[in-house]
Amino acid sequence: MIRVDLDVMLARRKMSMTELSQRVGVTMANLSILKNGKAKAVRFSTLDAICKALSCQPGDILIYEEETP
């Protein structure tokens, strides 16, 4: 399972979801879906823009975890 730690990076960068939304050009609704782990997919262009805005690597916000049965 892939866990999204977007709120952690936002807190580290002292950035709001609104500011990230404006910088990346993605709606607040779509960022919220991603942040809450409800997204089924993410475009590389979106991931690239998020990483650029937050000055981070994809691995800083996307974490793989084993699913427990």
pLDDT band, residue 69 (cuts 50/70/90): confident
Tokens (6 digits) for 36: 């809450």
Into which CATH architecture does domain 2-64 fall?
A: Orthogonal Bundle (1.10)
- HSE-CB of 26 using CA atoms within 13 angstroms: 19
**46-67: average pLDDT:** 95
> Burial code of 19-46, b = ≥16 C-beta within 10 A, e = fewer?
ebbeebebeeeebebbbeeeeeebeeeb
Give the C-alpha separation, 57 to 69, whole Å: 30
* pLDDT of res. 39: 92
* pLDDT of res. 67: 84
* pLDDT of res. 10: 96
Question: Among 11-20, 47-56, 59-68, which is the least confidently predicted range?
Answer: 59-68
**43-52: average pLDDT:** 96
Q: How many residues does the structure list for the chain?
A: 69
